Amino acid sequence: MGITYIKYGVLWIPSNPVIDIIQSWKDLVRTVEPDTIYLNHPVHCTFFLLIADIQDEKHIITKFEHCCNSLSKFSIEFGQWYIFKSDAATGGDTITLAIKPTDALFQSQEKIAFALIPYKKKSVNYPNTWKGVYQEAHEQWGFPFVGKHWLPHISIASVSEKGKEIVAEITNSKSIPKSDFLTNLSLFRIIDQTHEHLITIKLK
């Protein structure tokens, strides 16, 4: 039986009021471009992605749990609606809600990356060639967004066709969440565009 590599994601799932706002925009995009990437993903902010052997899954879950037990909860402040135009990760225009970067975010991400990197089997594949700090992070961590160049955010969808027609409607909207609390982190098994929840850990 051959080795089966699986993608795992460490995600922050925001509180219900934030989820409701993001989901309402996802529903709007779905009316014009129903098959676009990210649209059917759970509402979340990605901290780390890992390609690992599924046979290590129990160890990954345990290591993730131990790491989260050492992390403290902290407040999150949101910025504006932000568009990653011609997103290097998707090729489309990715509509997001920006999260203001903080030391707490960067430090938490780094601890998670250090905890899980022993299980990395290969780097996450993207349809482009990274350069600079993104290339360095991709080679070191297998994920190009580890470090202070990371722009934390919550994605709505990455549009490439009719969805672009409503980008302005979203970015001009004044219905923007102000803040939230990061009180937990979750580990998901990701197969294609399907996210299978494995465990959620409350932070201290």
pLDDT per position as a tens digit, 69-88: 999 999 999 999 999 999 98
pLDDT per position as a tens digit, 176-202: 999 999 999 999 999 988 999 999 999
Mean pLDDT, to the nearest integer, of 103-109? 98
- Where does residue 60 rank: exposed (0-12), middle (13-18), buried (19+ CB within 10 A)? buried
Say what the pLDDT of residue 147 is.
97
CATH 3.90.1140.10 for domain 5-202, yes or no, is: yes
Q: In what order do the strands lie in the sheet with 153-159?
A: 153-159, 93-99, 74-84, 179-182
Mean pLDDT, to the nearest integer, of 147-159? 97
Q: For the chain, what are the domain ranges?
A: 5-202
Q: Which residue spans within the chain are E strands per DSSP? A: 5-12, 45-53, 74-84, 93-99, 153-159, 179-182, 184-191, 194-202
Higher-confidence residue of 161 and 47: namely 47
Q: pLDDT band for 106, please (50, 70, 90 cuts).
A: very high
pLDDT at 2 over 80: no
CA 77 to chain centre: 16
pLDDT at 171 over 60: yes
Mean pLDDT, the chain, integer: 95
Say what the pLDDT of residue 97 is.
97
